[in-house]
Amino acid sequence: MVIQYLLGNEAIAHGCMEAAIDVACGYPGTPSSEVIDTLRIVPDRAFKVEWSVNEKVAFEQALAVSWCGLRSICTMKHVGLNVAADPLMVSGYTGTKGGFVILSADDPFAHSSQNEQDSRCYARFARIPCLDPSSIQEAHDMVRDAFELSEKFSLPVLFRPTTRICHSKSDVSLKDTRVSERKALFEKDPRQYVVIPAHTRLLHKLLNKKQPEIKRWLVDSGYNRFEIKGKTGIICGGIAASYVREIAAPDTSIAIIGGYPIDEEWLCSFISQHDKVLVIEELAPVIEETARGVAGTVPVLGKITGHVPFEGEMSPERVMTYLKAAGFSTTKEYEITSEPVAVPIRSPILCAGCMHRTAMYAIRKVFKDAIYPSDIGCYTLGIQMGTVDTTICMGASITVASGMSLAGESRDIICTIGDSTFLHTGIQGLMNAVYNGANITVVILDNRITAMTGHQPNPNTGITACGDVVPAISLEAICRACGATFVETVSPNDLVTFINTLKEAKSKNGVKVIIARQPCVISEKRQKISRGRYCVNHDTCIGCKACIKFGCPAIELHEGLAYITNLCSGCGVCVQICPVGAIGREVKE
């Protein structure tokens, strides 16, 4: 045994290796990405790791690996599970053979997400077991044991960490990693693997029959546990349980839910020993609804009674507030302080030299009174430039654009989508737009990598998760195969040509595709590509602020004149924007 200080996701990856996994696949998504990112750089690994093109693909592959008798995990963020929901809902019916774990990382407070969705609801929907860790150590232990749980019940196990597990750190006790000796062998059994109506009706019965045994096992194994301390009780789960343990008074009983489905009889035996209970959980009232169903005359306080909010994330001081509101005693008194209002906000912004800024700058110039559907990636930050009118979910830029075209909206419609997002779920939208005669311009912001989640490679990068060089797919060929006839590739850094291409697209009807290709500046820096910096000649600068309005973080204004700081990555776009030619190459003395 060894103790290390690890990120939650690193501890989870280690747990997978202790369980001797055979395959890990997933699609990047904050806060889940570092699990695969940790596994893919393990030297001399005996297991296989891949970044798949989307979550449905990752899920189905991992399920098939399990059917071959091997252990597999697929990883995604909570909204990725929506993409994988189709196979998820049947996977409980077909069941599994080798241990199969679905990691779906939830993001309470939507730190880096489009919604606050609760994956536990999916587990209940699909009738599969769900494990919900309350600490990093528990996350590590749980994911390791989840493979055995999956094999015990021949079911997928949904493992659900949240942002404060994935992106927190802790001292973690680790055991040795193990190497799998399993051999892939698919044993044909159409009654299990072919879900025609005659089979699926029986499989559904089988799935339902497993439920009571799972509930009992989760109590017997200690995942769901309680300690009686007094006449008031708190039922909690996930990271919120750690805040409760820090804050609750010593005479308060605590029940911790680490696994679902919850055994109602067991939960009733806890509730019935108290005068009242409070449920503290993030996101959906999953525990609370179960508790209300079995509480009888004991009052159950929580979200439904207005004592705890439905939205946002928990923290020690918030838990304290909810405990007080419900009339529970606490060990700590916090004076709640807040951020001073006068400090200018520092929102995340696109990097100096980022091609997304340039592309959106040009789009705004050429398509002035247009509608700008966009998508999910760094370029969503284009909202600061006024060129992001809609963002809902992966791939929805092209379909929202074609939908508005279908509605008969008379303005120009130009949408933006990143290369990874296009390959994830954008292609179908493009095919549909061409097929059904939409009148839109599609700009694929091709920076050759999945940047926002931490620079994971995709089929467009020409490299696999483990670093093998493979042929990069051709976005041009895909777009043409979808039926688009106007497909032009330009680097936005060549601002004049890029603007002219946009103008040409604007003058034509139908689906026009522009591939805006320029590698991510962070990737370039990591590859030690340097273009040298630019600087402002202050004899020529007239202080017109044209470059300032471009919004590059490397350009500052001092006493009415522009200055370029050492953040400059040398993209050269400001040179093309300056109306008086005041910006030039930095000359080293």
Partner 1 sequence: MSFDIMIVGIGGQGTILTSNIIGRACVIEGIPVRGAETHGMAQRGGSVESQIRIGQIFGPLISPGNADLILSFDLLETVRAAHWLKKEGEIFTSREFVVPTSVYMQDYPAPDEHMLLSMLGEACYILLDTIKIAEEAGNVLTQNVVLLGAASRKIPLSSESLKQAIRETVPKKTVDLNLKAFDLGVEAGKNP
Residues near partner 1 (CB under 8 A):
3-5, 7, 30-31, 34, 111-112, 135, 164, 167-171, 239, 242-243, 245-246, 315-317, 320, 334-340, 342-351, 378, 380-381, 452-454, 548-549, 551-553, 555-557
Of the pair 107, 118, the CB lying nearest partner 1 is at: 107
Min separation Cβ 548 and partner 1, Å: 5
Min separation Cβ 27 and partner 1, Å: 15
Of the pair 431, 564, the CB lying nearest partner 1 is at: 564
Of the pair 335, 589, the CB lying nearest partner 1 is at: 335
Q: How would you label 528-545 residue by residue, b for 16+ Cβ within 10 Å and e otherwise?
A: eeeeebbbbeeeebeeee
Strand, helix or coil at 136?
helix
Please give the Cα distance from 250 to 484 (Å, whole number).
Answer: 67
Of the pair 2, 407, the CB lying nearest partner 1 is at: 2
Min separation Cβ 160 and partner 1, Å: 17
Min separation Cβ 164 and partner 1, Å: 6
Contact, 2 vs 171, CB < 8 A?
Answer: no
Min separation Cβ 564 and partner 1, Å: 13
Of the pair 97, 356, the CB lying nearest partner 1 is at: 356
Min separation Cβ 139 and partner 1, Å: 12
Of the pair 299, 553, the CB lying nearest partner 1 is at: 553
Q: What are phi and psi of 171, to 5 degrees?
A: -70, 130
Query: Can you name the residues that pair with 103 across neighbouring β-strands?
Result: 75, 159
Contact, 424 vs 54, CB < 8 A?
Answer: yes
Residue 33's Cβ-side half-sphere holds a number of Cα atoms within 13 Å equal to 14
Min separation Cβ 37 and partner 1, Å: 11
Please give the Cα distance from 208 to 200 (Å, whole number).
Answer: 12
Contact, 61 vs 53, CB < 8 A?
Answer: no
Please give the Cα distance from 568 to 550 (Å, whole number).
Answer: 14
Of the pair 170, 269, the CB lying nearest partner 1 is at: 170
Query: ∠ CA(536), CA(539), CA(540), 5° rounding?
Result: 70
Q: What are phi and psi of 362, to 5 degrees?
A: -70, -40
Of the pair 96, 458, the CB lying nearest partner 1 is at: 458
Q: How would you label 225-245 residue by residue, b for 16+ Cβ within 10 Å and e otherwise?
A: ebeeeeebbbbbbbbbbbbbe
Residue 587: burial class (beta carbons within 10 Å; 0-12, 13-18, 19+): exposed
Min separation Cβ 331 and partner 1, Å: 11
Min separation Cβ 524 and partner 1, Å: 15
Of the pair 37, 60, the CB lying nearest partner 1 is at: 37
